[in-house]
Chain A
Amino acid sequence: MTTAIDPVIVAKDIRKKYEDNVAVDGISFEVRRGEIFGMLGPNGAGKTTTVEILEGMRDADSGEAIINGLNVKQDPIGVKAIIGVQLQQNAFFDNLKLSEIVDLYAKLYLAKVDPIEVLERVGLANRKNSKYAELSGGQKQRLSIAVALVNEPVVLFLDEPTTGLDPQARRQLWGLVRKIQTEGSTIVLTTHYMEEAEELCDRIAVVENGKIIALDTPDALIDQLLETGFKPEKRVREATLDDVFLHLTGRDLRD
C-alpha cells in the first residue's frame, strides 16, 4: 500500500476551457483520506471535466491537481497507477469473459489479484463466464467498479455510477460503495441524484458553471438553507415515491 498522505486529493484553482466554453472556472478543494466526497451539479456544470483532470485523462489549462502527493500533470502514469476509475461511459472488450476482462486489467497494473475474488467483491462471481454485452445496466456498472478495484486504489473515482439504473440496482450499488469505503478507499463520486449524495457522501461540493458554489457535509448544507428561512413547497412526508416503488416492487435485484 502506498504511504498515506492526508489530504489525499488537493485541487488548486483548476481551469479548463473548450474553445469558447469555460468548463472549469477555478475549482479548489481538498478530499480527506477515507471519505466519500460528492460532486453535485446539473449536467454540463463541469463535474466530469474536473474529475477527468484529477484522473490524468485531461490536461488542465492552469491550476494544480495533487493525488496522494503526486502532481497529476507531472506524473500522470504514477497517478493512474494508484487510482481506480469508473468513467461515465464505460465499455469493455467484447468476446472476453468477465473474469478475463478483470484479469487483463489487473495485468495492465501488474497487480496480482484473483479475478474471481474481485468479481466476488462486486457480487458478480456467478457471472464470471458471461460476456460484457450480456450484462444488465447495474451489472455493467458493478463490473466497471470491479475493474477499477484491481489495483487496490488509494482513490476510487466514480462518475455518475447510478445514472440509468433502476431503484433496486441503485440501492445495491450504494451498499457496494459503502463497503469499498469501509475497506479503506477514498471515493470521489459525481452524481445529479440528491438522495444519492445525501445517502452516501461525507461531504459535498455543489458545482455550477464550472465553480464550486457550496462545500460542506449534507447536513450542514441543509441546515444552512433552513437558517435562511427556507420552507419546502410541499409538506414533508415520512416517505417518498421512491419508498413506495421499492415497497411495491421489492428490494431484490432484477438481474
Chain B
Amino acid sequence: MRIYLALTVASLKMYFRNKQALFWALFFPLLIMTIFGMMNFDGYNSPNVGIYDAADNKASHAFISALRGPDDERLLSVTVDTLENIHHELEFGSNRAVIEIPSNYGIPGEYAEIKVTYDERFQQERAVVATILRRVTDAVFKEVAQVPNEYRVENAIGVSESLITGQGQGYKAWLIPGITGMAIMQTGLFMVVFTLVRFRSQGVLRRLKATPIGATHFLAGQLTTKALVVVIQTYVLVIIGSIILGVAVGADLIAAWFDLTVLALLGGALFITIGLAVSGWAKNEETAAPIANVISLPMMFLTGVFFPLSIMPDWLTQWSQYLPLTFLVDGMRAITVEGARITTLGSELIGLGVWIAISFAVATKMFRWE
C-alpha cells in the first residue's frame, strides 16, 4: 500500500509538472469546443422529428416517407422509435417535434387522429414541420379525392397539436459531453502510450524491474494517476465549456456529478487499458504514435463527437454504434443534457464493460517491461 501510494504521488507530480500534457488535456479540448460551438450547426439541418408509428402498415409507411422527402432533398430528419423515446428526445434531446400515428391509420372507414407535439421554444422549426405536415396530408387527400364520400380524407385524417417546453439545449450543449468524451479517450490512450513507451525505451521500466516491486504496483500507480486526471479533466471541460458556450448543462444536481464521475472513470479505465495494450504492442515511440492515431481518429469522427450519428449513412452507423467511444459519448450526453441517471443507462454501461474486459485481456497479454 505504501509502495502504491509512493508511486501514485510520484507519477502525479510528474504529470502536473508536464506543461505540454496539461495543454493537450485541458486547453486544447476547450479550444475545439469553443470553435465548433461558435459555428453553431443547429440551423443547417432539416428539423429532427420523432415519429411513433402505431399503425405500421402500407399507408403509414407511405405517409412517413412523404414526410421524409426524397433522398437527395430531405424535408425532415425523421427517426421512427417508441413513444417513450421520441418524447424523451423532444424534451431533452434534439427532436423539435414528435408525430404519433394512431393504430387505425389507413384503415378504410376509420377516422385517424394524428397527434403532433412541438417544442414551443423553436418557432421556426415548428412552422417548417407544420407546413410539411399540411402539405403531406393535403397530398394524401387529393390522391384519394375521387373516391366515394365515405372514404374522404377529412373523414379519415385529423391533426391535433400540442406544445411542450423542452429542456434540450441544442448543438452547443450537445457538443460539450462529446468533446469531453473525446478528451478522455485522448488522455487515456496517448498519455499511457507515450509515458509507458518512453519509460520502456529509456530503460526506466527495466530499472524498476530490478527492485522487489512487481508490475502490478507500478501499473496500479499509473492507472490511479490517469484516472484522477480523467476526472479532473471531465469537471474542467464540462464546467468551463458550459461557461464559455453559455449553456446550462443539465448536471446541476450533485447526483448528476456523481454519475458523471463514475462514467468518466469507466471511460478512463477503458481507454487506459487500450493504451496499455498498444504500449505493449508498439516497439518504440515512432510506432506507438501511428497505432494510437489509427485507433483514435476514426472514433473521433464516427462516434458522434462533433455531429450526430443520424446524419451518417446507415451502413456506417451500423457498426460505429459499437465503437468504445460511442458508448462513452452517448452515456455522457444522456447524463449531461438528457437528464438520465447512471442507473437508467443500459447499453452504454454494458458496451463499456465489454470493451474494458476485451482490452484488459489484450493488455495483460501484451505488457512488457523491456
Judged by a CB distance under 8 angstroms, whether B204 is at the interface is yes
Contacts of A81 in B (CB 8 A): 212
**Residues on the A chain within 8 Å of B203, using CB:** 87, 89-91
Interface assignment of A11: CB less than 8 Å from any CB of chain B: no
| B266: min CB distance to chain A, Å | 28
Q: Is there a chain B Cβ closer than 8 Å to A179's Cβ?
A: no
* Contacting residues, chain A, for B7 (C-beta < 8 A): 104, 108
Say whether A174 faces chain B, with CB atoms less than 8 Å apart: no
B10 touching A100 by the CB < 8 A rule? Answer: yes
B2 at the interface (CB under 8 A from A): yes
Checking A55, A80, A87, A94 against B14 with a beta-carbon cut-off of 8 angstroms, the contacting residue is A94
Contact with A along B1-39 (1 / 0, CB 8 A): 011001100110111011000000000000000000000
Docked complex Cα distance between A103 and B2 (Å): 12
Q: Is the CB of B212 within 8 A of A77?
A: yes
A81-B212, A90-B203, A109-B212 known; A96 vs B3 contact (CB < 8 Å): no
**Pairwise interchain contact A87-B206, C-beta atoms closer than 8 A:** yes
- Chain B 184-218, CB within 8 Å of chain A: the 1/0 string? 00000000000000010011101111111110010
B-chain residues with CB within 8 Å of residue A107 when the two chains form the complex: 2-3, 6
Question: What per-residue 1/0 map shows which CB atoms of A78-91 lie under 8 Å from chain B?
Answer: 10110001010111
Q: How far is the CB of A158 from chain B (nearest CB, A)?
A: 13
Chain B interface, number of residues (Cβ within 8 angstroms): 25
A57 contacts B6, C-beta separation under 8 Å: no
Residue of A nearest to B206 (CB): A87
Work out how many contacts link A and B, with CB atoms closer than 8 A: 66
A177 to chain B, nearest CB (A): 19
- One of B2, B11, B210 near A87 (C-beta < 8 A): B210
Say yes or no for A110: interface residue by CB 8 A criterion: yes
In the complex, which residue of chain A has the Cβ closest to the Cβ of B211? Answer: A108
Whether B17 contacts A110 by the Cβ 8 Å rule is: no
A90 touches B212 (CB 8 A): no
How close is B165's CB to chain A, nearest CB, in angstroms? 51
CA A95 – CA B17 in complex, angstroms?
A: 6
Chain A 59-101 interface residues, beta-carbon cutoff 8 Å to B:
77-78, 80-81, 85, 87, 89-96, 100
Q: A90-B207, A109-B211 are in contact. Are A96 and B10 (CB under 8 A)?
A: yes
Question: Which residue from chain A places its CB closest to the CB of B201 in the assembled complex?
Answer: A91
Contacts of A95 in B (CB 8 A): 13-15, 17-18
Which chain A residue lies CB-closest to B218?
Answer: A108
Residues in A neighbouring B209, C-beta threshold 8 A: 57
A108: min CB distance to chain B, Å: 5
A183 to chain B, nearest CB (A): 21
Compute how far the CA of A80 lies from the CA of B18 in the bound complex, rounded to whole angstroms: 31
In the complex the two chains form, is B10's CB within 8 Å of A104's CB?
yes
Complex Cα distance A93/B12, Å?
A: 12
Given contacts A91-B203, A110-B2, A110-B3, contact A80 B210 (CB under 8 A): yes
Beta-carbon nearest neighbor of A85 in chain B: B210
List the B residue with the shortest CB-CB distance to A78: B212
Complex CA–CA separation, A56 to B203 (angstroms): 16
- CB neighbours (8 Å) of B202 from chain A are 91
Query: Which residues of the other chain, A, contact B211 by a CB distance below 8 angstroms?
Result: 80, 105, 108-109
Q: How far is the CA of A87 from the CA of B202 in the complex (A)?
A: 12
Identify the closest chain B residue to A89 (Cβ): B203
Q: A57-B209, A109-B212, A110-B2 are in contact. Are A96 and B204 (CB under 8 A)?
A: no
A92 touches B204 (CB 8 A): yes
Most chain A C-beta atoms within 10 Å of own C-beta, residue among B10, B14, B212 = B212
The answer to whether B13 touches A100, judged by C-beta atoms less than 8 angstroms apart, is: yes
> Interface residues, chain A, CB within 8 Å of chain B?
55-57, 77-78, 80-81, 85, 87, 89-96, 100, 103-105, 107-110, 147
24 chain-A/chain-B pairs, Cβ below 8 angstroms: A56-B210, A57-B206, A57-B209, A57-B210, A77-B212, A87-B203, A87-B206, A87-B207, A90-B207, A91-B204, A93-B11, A93-B204, A94-B14, A95-B14, A95-B17, A100-B10, A100-B13, A107-B3, A108-B6, A108-B7, A108-B211, A109-B212, A110-B2, A110-B3
State the 6 A-B residue pairs at the shortest beta-carbon distance, nearest first: A107-B6, A91-B202, A85-B210, A95-B14, A91-B203, A95-B17
